[in-house]
A and B are shown apart, each in its own frame.
Chain A
């Protein structure tokens, strides 16, 4: 069963959430997931963009009240 790490990056601004995601990805195993919470709208677009560019997996994005929850799976 894969592990899921949660990062609360709400209240921080681009590119903070992206950098936190990347630093955390380095620490987890392939197949594990990260859920990152971000209130920054730019990051909600940029994070999926980055995930697709570098060939990790987008698991999903959901909109919550004032923030996004973005789930990424480490693919490599």
Chain B
């Protein structure tokens, strides 16, 4: 049985949503489901290169718990998904342009490049689409 590809549109900058997006993406990817993640809006801010961890991950009550306990962090999970499965990550071109950011502004080794929604939506017609 061939697995349905998964397309995740990540726009929230909340720690809890970053975390669950990373969990979904990495677990799907290691379970033989191709995954693509499109990062836009506030979410892209969490992927800026030189942000200290406590500023990168900001959220509510659960965010505090995630930071206290020995839970793999979101960036690490995305990285593991890429290493152990078929996971592609795209930075929203518009979100980069609007801030005057280049790809180098983002954490290295995570993104396959910048993309627009037209392409992402077109690819997503073949799969399951979720937004966080």
Contacts and interface: CB of A to CB of B under 8 A. Distances in A.
Interface of A: 11-16, 18-19, 22-23, 26, 46, 50, 53-54
A54 B27 contact: no
A18 B70 contact: no
B71 A16 contact: yes
B31 A26 contact: no
Interface size class of chain B, counting residues whose CB lies under 8 Å from the partner chain: 10 to 19
A54 B84 CA distance: 13
A19 B71 contact: no
A5 to B, nearest CB: 17
Interface string B82-104: 01100000000000000000000
Given A14-B23, A19-B84, A53 B32 contact: yes
Interface string B55-80: 00000000000000111100001001
Nearest to A25: B84
B70 A54 contact: no
A1 to B, nearest CB: 28
B30 A19 contact: yes
B69 A19 contact: no
24 contacts: A11-B70, A12-B71, A12-B72, A13-B69, A13-B71, A13-B72, A14-B23, A15-B26, A15-B77, A16-B72, A18-B27, A18-B30, A19-B30, A19-B72, A22-B84, A23-B83, A23-B84, A26-B84, A46-B27, A50-B27, A50-B30, A53-B31, A53-B32, A54-B31
